[in-house]
Amino acid sequence: MPRKQRDYGPVTVYQTSAPAVRTPSRWWRDAIGVSVATTVLIVVALWVHGGGLQDLLPNGPASAGPMLSSLGRLTGLVSADLLLLLVLLMARIPVVERLYGRGTLARWHRLVGFTSVNLMLAHIVLITLGYAAAAHTGTLAELWTLIATYPGMLLALLATAALILVAVTSMRAARGRLRYESWHLLHLYAYLGVGLAIPHELWTGTDFLSSPAATAYWWTMYALSMAAILGYRFGLPAYRTLRHQMRVEWVVAEGPGVWSVWLTGRALDRLPVRAGQFFNWRFLTGRGWTRAHPYSLSAAPQPGRLRITVKSLGDDSALVQRLRPGTRVLVEGPYGNLTAERRRRSRVTMIASGIGVTPLRALLEELPYRPGHATLIYRARTGADFTFQQELEELAKRRGIRLFLLPGKRADWATLNGPNASEQWAPAGYGDGIALLHRLVPDLAWHDVYICGPQGWMTSVSRAARALGVADDQLHTEEFTW
């Protein structure tokens, strides 16, 4: 991979030149947002065209059934549309990720997913009540009749169960109790739910086939969703795995429970990856190879070589230390938007916690900046937990980085007082988080701020940075899981 020489004052910076990654025009962002909103409007228009609005008009005492059924049709249609949009969000389309960033997409993913499931449950309740009112039967008896006699309903029931399982395990309380591998596997049940719902929608969902326009719309949405999943979740990873043939070169211990894995492969200079990004990795060791793990690059891409660094967290990450040279690797990615493309200012501050230093260390190596214009603030539980301390000190000396190492356990929220408790990101004993950040970087409002660490901790750092005048477009964080 060629290296560019750039002059930044007293020192010469050698910046790795990665393959060009075209940044989409801003108008694409607006166009995609408008398209998403338009799909919901189209669904409502199709419902109106099918007589849904007329059914809501009161027509005597017996109109309760048609009214409830019409509302049930509407909630079902919007739920199905949002579910297909959710599939597109899960497809990891590169242009969409670069436009919005993984954090924004993760928030949309949760919002669209929970809304779709809630509307689906409302659809079941309203349709059952509407049919029961029209047939003058009990609600539970009508529900059983629908399940037992209507075509595709048993599959729809299984689809509902799969989607509810995904929604429940995506709640923060449940998500925190699951290993990433287990959560990721359960999350794939959303695809199963979409597939199982198709027969019900085609056989009993008259709104799906009520007109040529409706038929064309729904088949187009399903075709786009399937193409995106097959292309970007399966096709592109398979192509890159086969093309680049990555293998483990060697494994190096970096500290207590922390290992770096160096990888080689073919034509890695053609792999469109930048410092700050991550891949989902599968090591073909014979055990656990089906489970993907999101690990960031911990060094800027080098000619023919990549490095990731992994901390043992009690799951499959502990197996990394036993990887042997030559082990083949399956990859998905690169993913993530924590890159140089997001930079807006000439000065930059990196704030890391624990193993979250890995993408920031790679960025500090790749980014161009003048001596004194880059700051790294790194907290860890103990002095022994500072990964890459020697590398960081050497990089700081060579590039003129202001380096601050903050050892100590994070302050216990239960003991915090005052209005700034939610911004307390620093270890215990360092005082107020906002005041500490201001002392370390007085002109922080003029910096781009890159943050990586546990999700709750990143939220606290972001709040502290905003309190010091950092605008949202200067704050850069990453979510590795949805």
Top mean-pLDDT range of 12-16, 329-333, 348-352: 348-352
Residue found by looking up tokens 């590039």 in the block = 399
H or E, element range at 449: strand 447-452
pLDDT value of position 28: 66
Strands 401-407 and 374-380: parallel
Q: What is the pLDDT of residues 19-51, one digit of tens each?
A: 444 555 566 667 777 888 888 899 888 888 877
Is it the case that residue 464 has pLDDT exceeding 50? yes
pLDDT value of position 49: 82
Is it the case that residue 314 has pLDDT exceeding 70? no
- Give me 399's structure tokens: 């590039």
Q: Residue 211: which pLDDT band, with cuts at 50, 70 and 90?
A: confident
Min mean pLDDT across 137-151, 168-182, 298-312 is at 168-182
DSSP 452: E
Q: What is the pLDDT of residues 403-444, one digit of tens each?
A: 999 998 876 544 444 455 567 898 888 888 899 999 999 999
Average pLDDT over residues 370-387: 92
Handedness of CA 167, 172, 174, 178 (dihedral sign): positive
Average pLDDT over residues 185-195: 71
pLDDT value of position 142: 84
Cα 119 to the center of its chain, rounded Å: 23
Is it the case that residue 326 has pLDDT exceeding 90? yes
C-alpha distance from residue 427 to each of 110, 379, 401, 411, 436 (Å): 31, 7, 22, 5, 11
Q: Residue 183: which pLDDT band, with cuts at 50, 70 and 90?
A: low
pLDDT value of position 185: 65
Structural domains in the chain plus CATH codes? 29-240 (1.20.120), 246-335 (2.40.30.10), 340-476 (3.40.50.80)
This prediction's pTM? 0.78
Contact between 377 and 404 under an 8 Å Cβ cutoff? The reply is yes
The larger pLDDT score, comparing residue 170 to residue 315, is at 170
Top mean-pLDDT range of 150-154, 156-160, 395-399: 395-399
